[in-house]
Amino acid sequence: MNAILHAQQLTKHYPGSIALDHVDFTANAGQSIAIIGPSGSGKTTLLHCLAGILRPDAGAITLNTPSSPLRLDTLGDAALSRLRREEFGFVFQQGMLLPELTALENVALALMLNGTDRTISENRAAEWLAALGLAGMEQRRLGELSGGQVQRVAIARAQVTGARVVFADEPTGALDSATSNEVLDVLLHSVAANGRTLLVVTHDPNVAARCERVVELRDGRIVADTGNSMSASNLPAQAGQAPSSQAAPGTQAASNFKGAYNV
């Protein structure tokens, strides 16, 4: 596998504690990686540093892009904001969506912020919502959707721009177990079908067990880094075989997800 994101000797201090203690980490293209550990272990700090949300106190973070490697730790705020809009997608525990907007508008907004025409943005957003089982719900606001449906909107928003790395921070933490499994299926299969890399911070061992690789942090250090026996090819058969990484959600991926995740 080719490395897409690489961190060397990451260090991050908070008053009275060390959140990251000289951490080395590499994410390969197309991998699903769970980052686990007890509260205060540094897993969310690691995720936020890798995503360009936090700056490490020391160390290097490199994103390998098709044109050239980018050093995130040396970029200015404007360049980091652009990188987060274009290369990265985010799914948070509470969705972090805008409640006054419809599902369609929430997803389309990610494209419009990058300068895409509104009509094109809304068409692509509708394709993604349909692909993730939300056809017919495009005009609903978040208060008219279930928790699982809201997270599907967040998953669509995270990927509609073509982001190559998706960061998920406790994406199923606010959901019941049945809904959690459904949302995790949608997240894992949509990421795999479109050739993305997924990094998931989780307290849930069931979520971690579904990822190809599990990285464990304690006291700001990686104490275990293991491949998981359940790879993308071993995910439930109901989702269908993932298409090529270039497939658009409106083609084969949409067919797979519509059949598997109709609400």
Residue 248: the pLDDT is 40
Please enumerate, as own/partner, the contacts of 135-140 that have beta carbons within 8 Å and a separation of 24 or more.
Answer: 135/258, 137/103, 137/263, 138/102, 138/103, 138/104, 139/102, 139/103, 139/104, 140/102, 140/103
Model-level pTM greater than 0.95?
Answer: no
Q: Which residue has the higher pLDDT, 96 or 99?
A: 99
User: Cα 60 vs. chain centroid, distance in angstroms?
Assistant: 21
pLDDT range class, residue 173, cuts 50, 70, 90:
confident
Residue 52 φ/ψ, nearest 5 degrees: 75, 15
Q: Comparing C-alpha atoms, which of 203, 176, 173, 200 is closest to residue 188?
A: 200
CATH architecture under which domain 31-41+77-217+228-261 falls: 3-Layer(aba) Sandwich (3.40)
Helices assigned H by DSSP within the chain = 43-50, 77-86, 103-112, 118-131, 147-159, 177-193, 205-209, 252-261
- Please provide the average confidence, as pLDDT, over all residues in the chain: 85
Average the pLDDT over 49-66 and give the result. Answer: 94
Name the percent of the chain lying above pLDDT 70: 86
Burial class for 180, CB neighbours closer than 10 Å (0-12, 13-18, 19+): buried
Hey, how many other C-beta atoms are within 10 angstroms of the C-beta on 128? 28
> Tokens standing for 29?
């293209």
> So what's the pLDDT on residue 194?
87
Residues 168-174, mean pLDDT to the nearest whole number: 89
| Model confidence band, residue 227 (pLDDT cutoffs 50, 70, 90) | confident
pLDDT of 224 reads 94
Higher per-residue confidence, 234 vs 117: 117
- Span 150-163, average pLDDT: 94
Instruction: Tell me the pLDDT tens digit for each residue of 240-257.
Output: 222 233 344 433 333 333
* Mean pLDDT across 117-128: 97
